[in-house]
Structure 1
């Protein structure tokens, strides 16, 4: 979705699935240990100064359900629901 336009009064329903697997940490193109990631400053200034939790690996499956409706030729309404088991 978001890669095309609809005319006034048109509807579209979509279902998309994705699967993501990641392991290890990389900083500036180089592998970095979890211990070193935890020492790095946190770029989110309103949060803790460093990263207290670092993922070792991620395996995620997600299904996204979307709906598009175009009430005018310049406005498209798009609610999206994510399902992550």
Structure 2
């Protein structure tokens, strides 16, 4: 039961990440602000992270935690650069 609930939450997060990436892309096309493009890539990384976490083969791979950690680090860096670029 808990595994199904966790999967549903991950699907909601994936859908939200895709929606926010799309909204960021549309806003970038209207304004040409590079920071919005960086935010779009950050949201894509959130979706990619959720996909990687839920792949059955990834859980058994020895580098899975490293890959997920690198995706999270990339997300944080992209958001920071997007915020710093605005100021």
Q: Which has the higher contact order (CA 8 A, sep 6+)?
A: 1
Same fold per superposition (TM over 0.5): no
Please identify which structure carries the higher helix content.
2
Please identify which structure carries the higher strand content.
1
- The TM-score with structure 1 as length reference comes to 0.22
- The TM-score with structure 2 as length reference comes to 0.21
Give the greater-gyration-radius structure (CA).
1
